[in-house]
Amino acid sequence: MGCIENLKYEMILPLGASFKECREYVEKNFKEFWYVDPGYKLFDEYIIGLPPIALGIEDGRKIIFPYTKPCHGTYLLRIEDQNEAERVRKTARKKK
């Protein structure tokens, strides 16, 4: 898919959120969440951050994840993509 800016996303936590704030928000607000390490590829982009990076899945098809724009900061996004949600379930880990 390429650039995150080209995808239809919803911002959950605003620009400037910390990696810890993003992880805690996902853990507290979503029943299904998975952990990945920095460098995990999501939507053809490499995710950066402090491990463990929490990815939430909502309604079985929406992925909630922190995204960092270099020189701008980190924010938490929600993107609907059932295929990518299934891939996360198969490749990420359940516990920290």
Quick: pLDDT tens for 28-85.
999 999 999 999 999 988 999 999 999 999 999 999 999 988 777 898 999 999 999 9
Q: Is residue 8 assigned to a domain? A: yes
Rounded Cα distance, 44 and 27, in Å: 24
Per-residue pLDDT band at 14 (split at 50, 70, 90): confident
Q: Is residue 96 assigned to a domain? A: no
Q: Is residue 60 assigned to a domain? A: yes
Q: Is residue 61 assigned to a domain? A: yes
Mean pLDDT of the region 15-28 = 92
pLDDT value of position 9? 84
The count of structural domains within the chain is 1
CB 7 within 8 A of CB 43: yes
Q: Which strand (E) or helix (H) includes residue 89?
A: helix 82-91
1 pLDDT more than 60: no
Model's pTM, two decimal places?
0.88
pLDDT value of position 2? 55
Question: Could you tell me the residue range of the domain that residue 80 belongs to?
Answer: 4-91
